[in-house]
């Protein structure tokens, strides 16, 4: 079973603890968004994608239903697909099913539990497909196994609006790494969320069901469990704010009172109203992303949007 053959580069607990200490030492305080995706966080994110307020998932799926035949033509046969981040796999199954005789599927995911579940679901859906799950922090350099000689091309797959979680310079660096990873004659099929009105954006990131709040608060539970921290969940509240001057939604936890929190033996002082930034979700204009793609070595081939231009999908080539 492919799920038992995980290529294991999982970061250890010390990496999380040090990342937490480094983030809380900054001004303003932050926690890197990648740490939100432990097993429980990954489960909650999948629930976010199903909420009424969260438009990106259903909009992206709608676009995929209209463009995948063309995407398959552009990619060609025997492609090796590398997915950055392994979710429930609904969109991935659509993508792989549309391709002509895909040669291999390599999901890269920081959470080993989420990765194992993804690999098992994909192996069930595609029993003849070679699947190599890689447990690693894909925001850092990752080395892929050498492709078989029969592979047509290596294509990165990065659905959702996750590129927006990087700061602008980090997003550019990440795209350059994908470009180099996919090599000559490679490609990238990527989802990009677009700039839109404040109400739609803030509702999407602070849904009425409270799932995004639970997802964000979960990082405090993880810190207490894995990093010897002593956060009191009730001493923080969740906020999501659209910041048009930066073209981003900022998600943060706000201290309700003056307090001291420890991570191991390291104390951190909070004033009432002080924030921990947990995530930025940057949004793009179509021309803006095309320029970013070119600046990082890609050639934009085609892009597709929904009728309201809420979201876009792009196929890029190296």
pLDDT, tens digit, for every residue of 223-282? 999 999 999 999 999 999 999 999 999 999 999 999 999 999 999 999 999 999 999 999
DSSP category for residue 140: S
Give the C-alpha separation, 97 to 114, whole Å: 21
- The reported pTM is 0.91
Average pLDDT, the chain: 94
Q: Is the dihedral of CA 28, 22, 192, 213 positive or negative?
A: negative
pLDDT the model gives residue 9: 76
pLDDT the model gives residue 3: 40
- Considering only residues 99 and 8, tell me which one the structure prediction assigns the higher pLDDT: 99
* Lowest-pLDDT choice from 76-90, 203-217, 234-248, 283-297: 76-90
Instruction: Give the domains, in start order, of the chain with CATH numbers.
Output: 20-52+198-282 (no CATH), 55-196+284-317 (3.40.50.150)
Convert the pLDDT of each residue in 189-234 to its tens digit: 999 999 999 999 999 999 999 999 999 999 999 999 999 999 999 9
């Amino acid at each position: 079973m492919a799920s038992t053959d995980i290529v294991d580069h999982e970061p250890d607990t010390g990496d999380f603890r040090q990342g937490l200490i480094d983030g809380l030492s900054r001004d303003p305080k932050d926690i890197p968004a990648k740490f939100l995706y432990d097993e429980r966080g990954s489960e909650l994110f999948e629930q976010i994608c199903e909420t009424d307020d969260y438009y990106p998932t259903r909009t992206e799926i709608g676009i995929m239903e209209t463009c995948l035949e063309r995407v398959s033509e552009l990619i060609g046969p025997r492609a090796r697909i590398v997915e950055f981040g392994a979710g429930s796999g609904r969109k991935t199954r659509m993508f792989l099913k549309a391709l002509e005789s895909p040669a291999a599927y390599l999901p890269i995911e920081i959470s080993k539990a989420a990765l194992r579940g993804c690999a098992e679901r994909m192996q069930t859906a595609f029993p003849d497909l070679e699947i190599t799950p890689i447990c690693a922090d894909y925001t850092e350099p990752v080395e892929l196994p050498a492709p078989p000689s029969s592979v047509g091309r290596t294509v990165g797959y990065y659905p959702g609006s996750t590129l927006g979680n990087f700061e602008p310079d980090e997003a550019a660096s990440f795209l350059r790494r994908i470009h180099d990873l996919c090599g000559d004659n490679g490609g990238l099929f990527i989802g990009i969320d677009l700039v839109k009105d404040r109400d739609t954006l803030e509702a999407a990131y602070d849904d009425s069901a409270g799932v995004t709040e639970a997802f964000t608060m979960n990082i405090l539970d993880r810190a207490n469990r894995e990093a010897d921290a002593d956060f009191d969940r009730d001493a923080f509240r969740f906020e999501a704010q659209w910041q048009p001057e930066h073209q981003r939604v900022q998600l943060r936890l706000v201290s309700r009172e003056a307090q001291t929190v420890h991570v191991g033996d390291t104390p951190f002082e909070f004033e009432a109203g002080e924030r921990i930034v947990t995530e930025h979700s940057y949004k793009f204009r179509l021309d803006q992303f095309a320029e970013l793609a070119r600046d990082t070595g890609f050639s934009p081939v085609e892009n597709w949007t929904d009728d309201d231009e809420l979201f876009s999908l792009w196929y890029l080539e190296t």
